Structure formats: C-alpha cells, structure tokens
Amino acid sequence: MKKGILFLLLSLSFMINSCDNELELIAPWEDIPVVYGLLSRADEVHYIRVEKAFLDPKTSALEIAQNVDSLYYDEHVIVQLERVKTGDVFNLQKIDGATVGINREAGVFANSPNYLYKINDSEINLQAGEIYRLKIIRGEGLPIVTAETRVIDDYEFVRAAPANPIDFQYKRDITISWRSDDKAAVFFDLNIILYYQETDPNNPSTFIDKSLNWSVAKNIKREDPTNPRMVYKLPGIEFYQFLGQNIDGSQKLNRIFRKLDFVVTAGGKELFDYINVGQANTGITSSQLIPSFTNLSEGLGVFSSTNRLVRTNFTVSSTTRDSIRNGVFTKALNFQ
C-alpha cells in the first residue's frame, strides 16, 4: 500500500442469513468501535483505521453497510497516540485515504470516502522499544477506547546470508539470516522482489521494466527468545518454480533478469495473537478478515507494531542465469 503500511480491511463479524440475505450484528443499539492500526519506524506516515459497527433493528445491515454515516464516527471523535514514557499526546488528523492513494476495495461496505486517521512520523518521532497508547475519545458518555503496543526496534541482515551474487541451485538451500535483538518482534514475513525486463509486444526493440513480489514465508516465529539470530532456509528450486508459475510463457517475448531485493517484515505480539486466533496463515500484510481477536479495551480489532528491513540490488550468478534460460521450469520464458 502506498505510504508504507498495508491496511487490512477490518469490520465486525457478521452472520449471513441465507434466507433473507441480511447481516446481523452482535447487539442492538450498541456502539462497537472497530480499529486497525500498525505503528512502524519504517513508515513516514502512520495511519489508523477507526470504524464502528451499529445495528438498526429497522434497517437491513446490507443497507447500513453502504451508509457512510453508519460506518464512521462523526467529527467530534478524537483519535490520539500517547507516548507513555513521557505522557506526550499527539492528535491524529482525519482524512479520506483516497486523497493519498489508499483506496478501499469494492464490496459490501461503502468504499468512498475511505476515512483514516493519520500522523506524520516527523511529528510523533516513534521511539524504538517504547510503549505507545492509542486513545479513541468518542464522547457522549462512552468509555475511552485504549490499546497499547511496544514499538519494534530496527534490525539487520547477517553478512553474506545470502551471498551476493546468489547462486540458486535445484538441490541446495539458500540461507537467509537476520539479527533482531528486540524481543518485541515475535514473528517475521519474508518477501523477495524480483526485477526483470521484457520486450514491448508493440515495439520489440523496447524493453519494459517488470517486477514480481514473491511471498516466500509468512509467520516465521522466533522460537528462541534468547537468540537474536533468525535463519530461513530457502530451497533453490523454488526460485525457478516461482518464475515459471508467475510469468506467462505463452507470450513469446524476450526477457532479461535484472536483480532482486529481500524484505523482512517484523510483527509484534498483538498482531501475532490476532493472526493465530484466526488460525489462518495470513501474514503481516494480508487482507483476510479475522474478527475474533481484539486487544482494545472496547470493541474489536488490533493495535500493534511492525518494522521492515530491506536489502536491495542482489544479482544472480552466471550458473543461475544459465538455469533461468535453459531450466525445465523457465526455458519457455525466453530469458536471454
């Protein structure tokens, strides 16, 4: 998602009535906040999604879902972040996410406007290892909604793991390793971004830049909290299988493999619990609905911390390039 964080589309759990196709919420006339927010030192702007679930017994929930006034709080609601150590409080600004390129997917719920609450990191200056408290002041005699998370510190790749250039072999693993001394980072996602070029079908003398986002592993748990080093073994054959499965070989275009980047994203305990309660392999940046967990004092949702480590501009060995050109999984892709 643009501006860093990728939002999950969180809404309250619904029951679908197969007879009249109406959605029934938890309880009538109850203000139920639904919140999703991840704080990351890797982001220049921080966004918090704050919505509400509200049942009108006289109106179909499908109709309510398309009513913006039923999904979002009024302007009087205040969303704040508090740096617990100092007591400093920061007010977040309500915006339409579409104005900054964050669009809500079409579906049951109204997708425009897409209200979010934002604050620039230059204003709040997240401090690693410190606890931040989310506060949602709804007024009207309602309790203040709160949640806390500890901001995950930065971490680093272990040198030569992997080596550059990378030699992907069918029968060998690639070792990818990073070091995180912060116990607040309890699990990790590993992605590899692959960059290549292919000829323009309308102008064969011109090459077009392309990229693929390979989700290598999700929810890699820190098994030993006393060991800061994380290690992931990637079977080399999976590199070729991924290329073969994700590039259309029926298009007889010439292609050139350029480089790849490694991205390791860390997640905090609250997010880890949120995912595991749903018993789903969703990862940090997914969009699957998991409504049964909350670390909020009121309502549903999750407030947690993430961080992101990127290592760029890896090339591949000459033997790897030869295998891309002639290997069983990729020879139909016309890599040069």
pLDDT in tens, the chain (336 residues): 333 333 333 332 332 233 233 334 444 557 789 899 999 999 999 999 998 876 555 554 445 555 555 678 888 999 999 999 999 999 999 998 888 888 766 554 555 588 899 999 999 999 999 999 999 999 888 999 999 999 999 999 998 789 999 999 999 999 999 999 998 999 999 999 999 999 988 888 899 999 999 999 999 998 888 899 999 999 999 999 999 999 998 888 999 999 999 999 999 999 999 888 765 444 444 444 445 679 999 988 999 999 999 999 999 999 999 999 999 999 999 999
Query: Which pLDDT does position 17 carry in this prediction?
Result: 31
Reduced 3-state DSSP string for the chain: CCCCCCCCCCCCCCEECCCCCCEECCCCCCCEEEEEEEEECCCCEEEEEEEEECCCCCCCHHHHHCCHHHHCCCCCCEEEEEECCCCEEEECEEEEHHHHCCCCCCCCCCCCCCEEEEEEHHHHCCCCCCEEEEEEECCCCCCCEEEEEECCCCCEECCCCCCCCECCCCCCEEEEEEECCCCCCCEEEEEEEEEEEEEECCEEEEEEEEEEEEEEEEEEECCCCCCCEEEEEEECHHHHHHHHHHCCCCCCCCEEEEEEEEEEEEECHHHHHHHHHCCCCCCCCCCCCCCCCECCCCCEEEEEEEEEEEEEEECECHHHHHHHHHCCCCHHHCEC
Q: List Cβ neighbours of 318 (8 Å cut-off, separation of 6 or more).
A: none
Q: Using an 8 Å Cβ cutoff, are 47 and 97 in contact?
A: yes
216 and 138 assigned to the same domain: no
Quote the distance between the C-alpha of residue 140 and its chain's center.
Answer: 34
26 and 131 assigned to the same domain: yes
187 and 317 assigned to the same domain: yes
55 and 78 assigned to the same domain: yes
66 and 123 assigned to the same domain: yes
Q: Using an 8 Å Cβ cutoff, are 287 and 214 in contact?
A: no
Query: Where among 83, 116, 151 does a domain terminate?
Result: 151
193 and 99 assigned to the same domain: no
Could you tell me if residue 296 is inside a domain?
Answer: no
Could you tell me if residue 286 is inside a domain?
Answer: no
30 and 147 assigned to the same domain: yes
Could you tell me if residue 176 is inside a domain?
Answer: yes
Could you tell me if residue 300 is inside a domain?
Answer: no
28 and 128 assigned to the same domain: yes
136 and 202 assigned to the same domain: no
Query: Where among 124, 151, 178 does a domain terminate?
Result: 151
140 and 162 assigned to the same domain: no
> Distance (Å, rounded) from C-alpha 2 to C-alpha 103?
10
110 and 176 assigned to the same domain: no
Quote the distance between the C-alpha of residue 28 and its chain's center.
Answer: 33
219 and 317 assigned to the same domain: yes
Nearest to 269, CA basis, from 226, 302, 300: 302
Nearest to 281, CA basis, from 329, 217, 185: 217
Could you tell me if residue 235 is inside a domain?
Answer: yes
Q: Please tell me the total number of residues recorded for the chain in this structure.
A: 336
Could you tell me if residue 287 is inside a domain?
Answer: no
CATH of the domain at 137: 2.60.40
Quote the distance between the C-alpha of residue 228 and its chain's center.
Answer: 23
Structural domain span for residue 254? 156-265+311-333
> Sign (positive/negative) of CA torsion 287, 289, 295, 297?
positive
Query: Which pLDDT does position 18 carry in this prediction?
Result: 31
Could you tell me if residue 253 is inside a domain?
Answer: yes
Whole-model pTM: value is 0.81
Could you tell me if residue 163 is inside a domain?
Answer: yes
What φ, ψ does residue 81 adopt, rounded to 5°? -120, 130
Q: How many domains does the chain have?
A: 2
Query: Which pLDDT does position 25 carry in this prediction?
Result: 43
Q: Using an 8 Å Cβ cutoff, are 40 and 78 in contact?
A: no
Query: Which pLDDT does position 6 carry in this prediction?
Result: 32
b/e burial code for range 159-184 (CB count within 10 A of at least 16 → b): eeebeeebebbeeeebebbbebebeb
Sheet containing strand 88-91, strands side by side: 88-91, 78-83, 131-137, 145-150
Q: How many CB atoms lie within 10 A of CB 272?
A: 19
Query: Where among 151, 167, 198 does a domain terminate?
Result: 151
